[in-house]
Chain A
């Protein structure tokens, strides 16, 4: 069985400061890892993914994430937070060889203060 853990329900950061949203995962094989963002009353928007290759992946809106196989982590980062980044962020995983549906973490609410 695969699972995702997002240990922080909420992350608070001041505008202009770097942000990190944590994610750890568990799969039986090689993982496909994803980050999505959900703004109020909106669906999920794809941010970035790791499938293979460079451990540092860059995505939309200046976000990036680092895949760390030894720590089974895929933390989301941004060098300089914007107030408009305030939203709900979900990490998701699927097994490379298993079913194609995603397993989601519990979500982390990011609050960027002006």
Chain B
């Protein structure tokens, strides 16, 4: 399986600020995704990070709030902009690697005060 790392692992932020989360994979992958897991909830897809083009966002998520970069096949960033307490969640990146299977990073725990 692919080895995925995320930075930071956790953070506490003030409302109105922005946080950029990094996702690094140890091999080149075509498909990368960003999910959100709100407290006590399941995972919801934010967007698909496309290499060399704009990310594809799901309904309810917009680029101004969650800008995503994908400069190459091993790296992506997700920014949570103008944060509010409702953005407090775990943010996870995932990659599709080998035989249609998605593997997940350890997640970034975000608390917005």
Chain A residues lying within 8 Å of B106, measured Cβ to Cβ, are 42-43
A-binding segment of B14-22, B66-74, B77-85, B92-100: B92-100
Interface size class of A (residues with CB under 8 A): 20 to 34
A42-B107, A46-B1, A46-B104 are known; give 4 further A-B pairs, CB within 8 A: A34-B102, A41-B109, A46-B103, A49-B101
Chain A residues lying within 8 Å of B31, measured Cβ to Cβ, are 100
How many residue pairs between the two chains, A and B, have CB atoms under 8 Å in the bound complex? 49
Distance A81 CA – B100 CA, assembled complex (angstroms): 28
Within 8 A of B (CB), among A30-45: 32, 34, 36, 41-45
A102 near B101 with CB under 8 A, answer no
Size of the chain B interface, CB-CB below 8 angstroms: 22
Interface of chain B: mostly helix, strand, loop or mixed: strand
Q: Given A41, A43, A101, A105, which contacts B45 in the complex, CB threshold below 8 Å?
A: A101
Can you list 6 A-B pairs with a CB-CB distance of less than 8 A?
Answer: A42-B106, A49-B101, A51-B100, A100-B31, A104-B44, A106-B42
Distance A32 CA – B109 CA, assembled complex (angstroms): 29
A-B residue pairs, 9 tightest by C-beta: A44-B104, A43-B106, A104-B43, A43-B104, A43-B107, A104-B42, A101-B45, A106-B42, A107-B42
Knowing A44-B104, A100-B96, say if A90 contacts B45 (CB, 8 Å): no
